[in-house]
Amino acid sequence: MDYRKYAQTYYVRMDKGDEIISCILKLCRKENIASAIFSGIGGCSGAEIQTFIPQTGTFETQTLAGMLELASLNGNIVTDEAGNHCHHTHAVFSYKDGSRHCMAAGHIRSITVLYTAEIELRPVIGGTIRQKHDAETGTGFWDFA
């Protein structure tokens, strides 16, 4: 991973073998970024996509492997009540399955870079967004307090 800060925005290039989510979290810890939004594109070799199942309060995970075009990556970084960085990330991938062109999308647990990924990360300016645990769903939501 390599990155530069221009004005208030970080531009991040990730390389083969980098795991996107952990790299973004590492950058936020290193640069003392408490909350941010990010987006990106790239070529990836693997991804774990999750779908939340409200009836059970759990996530189902689908693992993708092979040449994956990261067509869209969107997410945010916030800190929880203990000050730990948390992410909420969604992505869309295109890939081939034989002669078929396929798409897969959802909540992201991890993404591994195959060639490169290009990420724009924009810290929240003038405040901090925290994550507040929601007991009903077992997940966290933005807290502006």
Q: pLDDT at position 39, please?
A: 98
Q: What percentage of the chain carries pLDDT values higher than 90?
A: 81
DSSP state of 21: H
HSE-up (13 A, CA, CB side) for residue 54 = 2
Band (pLDDT 50/70/90 cuts) for residue 69 is very high
Predicted model pTM: 0.92
Can you read off the two tokens belonging to residue 56? 């059970």
Domain assignments of the chain as residue spans, ordered by start? 2-143
**Residue 145 banded pLDDT, cuts 50, 70, 90:** low
Mean pLDDT of 108-127: 97
Structure tokens at 108: 């992201």
Instruction: Evaluate the CA torsion angle 34, 77, 52, 13 in order and state its sign.
Output: negative
pLDDT at 138 over 80: no
Nearest partner of 45 among 15, 66, 69, judged by Cα:
66
Residue 136: pLDDT band with limits 50, 70, 90: confident
**41-50, 75-84, 117-126: which has the minimum mean pLDDT?**
75-84
92 band by pLDDT with thresholds 50, 70 and 90: very high
Helix (H, G, I), strand (E, B) or coil at 18: coil
Per DSSP, 57 falls in state T
The domain 2-143 is placed in CATH, from the list 3.20.20.140, 3.30.1330.80, 2.40.128.20, 3.40.630.30, at 3.30.1330.80
pLDDT (tens digit per residue) in 28-52:
999 999 999 999 999 999 999 999 8
